[in-house]
Chain A
Amino acid sequence: MTSASAPLVSIRALHKSYGPHIQVLKGLDIEMKPGERVVVIGPSGGGKSTLLRVVMGLEKIDSGSVTFGGRPYISSAGAGAKTVIDTEVRRSIGMVFQHYTLFPHLSVVQNLVLAPCKVRGEKKASAVRRAEALLERFGLAAKANAYPAQLSGGQKQRVAIARALMLDPKLMLFDEVTSALDPELVAEVEQVILQLAGQDMPMMIVTHDMWFAKNIASRVIFCAGGVVVEDGPPEQVLGAPREERTREFIDRVFHIKQ
């Protein structure tokens, strides 16, 4: 497409509110380069998850725009105007949610092949082969024919990641994917995401796990009150924040260690 330094995602003046009184995003500007792994941190209600949901094309926006790989993707002329979402672009983005959102009536393999077969018209046999390879890689080969209800939380989340990867996304979004998990299951999911990071998959991650943030991020954005407060490499934002609000937040999160 364009040169390596051209942005993959470019978010401009993004405003988003729920109802007339609750403004969640108040003019967000973010540029993400290809190959970057952006971790978004910040207090609850600061708009992190909403940001990811907007980028996935799940939410209407009040105003602003998002481009993807240089192509216009989401735009809205202003409050009350229609949100225009290019669904073609949307298909090149994958997302994993906090609550797994596997399809409970389909087996693991069926969950994986549904979209490739129905969206891209891939032959079932070839989709199943790819699905099995992915499951093998994630240590889930034995669960291919199990139903979601028969899996542990960690297994479900790994299946959800595999399901999103089946469409070869150019960007992966992870929205608090370990928040609903028992502590002992967190590592297996984070390992899978780290493995993807090793293959230079661009990703945008919302997480409360600062250890994970430090390990995976190539860049950290601190979001609070609907705006970007601080944006920089992980060593800076997590280690030596420049902004007072970031420092307060980081202090509180790492409180126990001090």
Chain B
Amino acid sequence: MSLDFSVLLLFQDALVLGLWTTIKLTLICVVLGSSLGFLVGLARTAPSAVVRGIASVYVEFFRGTPVLIQLFWIFFCLPLILGVELSNLASGVIALTLYMGAITSETFRASLKSVGREQMDACIALGLPRHVQVTSVILPQAVLRAVPTLLSNCVSLFKESALVSAVGMADLMFVGQNISNNTARPVEVLTVVALIYFAIAFPLTRAVTLVEGRILKKLAI
């Protein structure tokens, strides 16, 4: 067979629009999801067993089921339960925020745990009150340590966002599939779509490695 990539030029605008939707969705859910994840991460270390329990069930459930089924559930079931229509964008944002919240909460939890007991000893020996221990010693270190994993979480979210195409949201993947069906040129179209995702995700994963090296070097004691 012969390949003809020029067909894509006709659909340039549609692809850009789809990519913009993907990026917008990712950015919104990065902000909402990691804020949620931070709170849930804290909740998982809370003194109250009830709070810890609820947080664990949420995290384990979202990590233990396919994102696709979460998305379907929110898309088809949540409107029935709430009795309101949800736009495609709203369901996508809710589903991916909950997904991001679950994975980043683990990131925050691990980084909070990684601040060693010796640091706590030093805080006590210096007579730092509890709120100063948290705001000046534990949180800054925990957040720094979390940065590389959070960046990988963002890459995962960016990739998972392609799932919203399955519920009809016009993201890059959805637009790509549509063009592919209309032109009957799946090889060219889908390859280019894959390359666009790659062109964004790959530099980000390299950045993770770079940032990780720098932070580990800085926090080495």
Q: How distant is the Cα of A101 from the Cα of B119 in the complex, in angstroms?
A: 6
- Provide the residues of chain A in CB contact with B218, threshold 8 Å: 104-105, 147, 149
B53 lies within 8 A of chain A by Cβ:
no
Q: Which residues of A contact B137 (CB under 8 A)?
A: 103, 114
CB of B127 to closest CB in A, whole Å: 4
B 187-211 to A, binary, CB cutoff 8 A, 1 in contact else 0: 0000000000000000000000000
B126 within 8 A of A: yes
- A: contact size bracket: 20 to 34
Q: CA–CA, A99 to B119, complex, Å?
A: 10
How far does the alpha carbon of A101 sit from the alpha carbon of B126 in the complex, in Å?
11
| B217 proximity list for chain A (CB < 8 A) | 149
The answer for the CA separation of A101 and B125 in the assembled complex, in Å, is 11
A115-156: CB near B (< 8 Å → 1, else 0) gives 100110000000000000000000000000001110000001
A90-98, A191-199, A219-227: which one contacts chain B?
Answer: A90-98
B13 at the interface (CB under 8 A from A): no
Task: State in angstroms the CA–CA spacing of A93 and B125 once bound together.
Answer: 7
Which residues of A sit under 8 angstroms from B10, Cβ to Cβ? none
A-B contact count (CB 8 A): 75
B78, CB-defined interface residue at 8 Å: no
Contact of A104 (CB < 8 Å), options: B126, B127, B128, B221: B221
For B83, what are the chain A residues with a Cβ–Cβ distance below 8 Å?
A: none
With a cutoff of 8 Å between Cβ atoms, the chain B residues found around residue A56 in the complex are 121, 124-125
Q: In whole angstroms, what is the CA distance A163 to B118 when docked?
A: 15
Chain B interface extent, by class? 20 to 34
Q: Which residues of B contact A114 (CB under 8 A)?
A: 126, 128, 132, 136-137
Q: Chain A residues with Cβ under 8 A from B127's Cβ?
A: 87, 90-91, 115, 119, 167
Question: What residue in chain A is nearest B217 (Cβ atoms)?
Answer: A149
Q: How far is the CA of A185 from the CA of B121 in the complex (A)?
A: 24
Q: Is the CB of B219 within 8 A of A104?
A: yes
Interface flag for A42 (CB, 8 Å): no
Query: Cβ of A103 and Cβ of B124 under 8 Å apart?
Result: no
Q: A149-B218, A149-B220 are in contact. Are A119 and B124 (CB under 8 A)?
A: no
Known contacts A147-B218, A149-B219: does B121 contact A101 (CB below 8 Å)? yes
**A156 — which chain B residues lie within 8 A by C-beta?**
221
Residues facing A in B115-153 (CB within 8 A) are 118-119, 121-122, 124-129, 132, 136-137, 140-141, 144
Q: How far is the CB of B142 from chain A (nearest CB, A)?
A: 10
A147 — which chain B residues lie within 8 A by C-beta? 218
Q: Is the CB of A149 within 8 A of B124?
A: no
A163: chain B residues within 8 A (beta carbon)? 126
In the complex, whether A32 has a CB less than 8 A from a CB of chain B is no
CB atoms of B125 and A164 under 8 A apart: yes
Tell yes or no: A51 within 8 A of B by CB.
no
Q: Which residue of B lies closest to A115 (CB)?
A: B126
- In chain A, what residue has the closest Cβ to B122? A101
A58 with B124: CB separation less than 8 A: yes
Do B119 and A103 touch (CB < 8 A)? Answer: yes
B221 and A105 form a contact (CB under 8 A): no
Within the complex, the shortest CB–CB distance from B214 to chain A, in Å, comes to 11
The residues of B that contact A204 with a CB separation of less than 8 Å are: none
Q: CB-CB < 8 A to B140: which residues of A?
A: 105
Q: List 12 A-B contacts (CB under 8 A).
A: A56-B124, A93-B125, A100-B221, A101-B221, A102-B221, A103-B137, A104-B219, A105-B140, A114-B136, A115-B127, A119-B126, A119-B132
Given A56-B124, A149-B221, 19 other A-B contacts at CB below 8 A? Answer: A53-B121, A58-B124, A90-B124, A95-B125, A101-B119, A101-B122, A102-B122, A104-B220, A105-B141, A114-B126, A114-B136, A115-B126, A118-B128, A118-B129, A119-B128, A147-B218, A149-B217, A149-B220, A164-B125
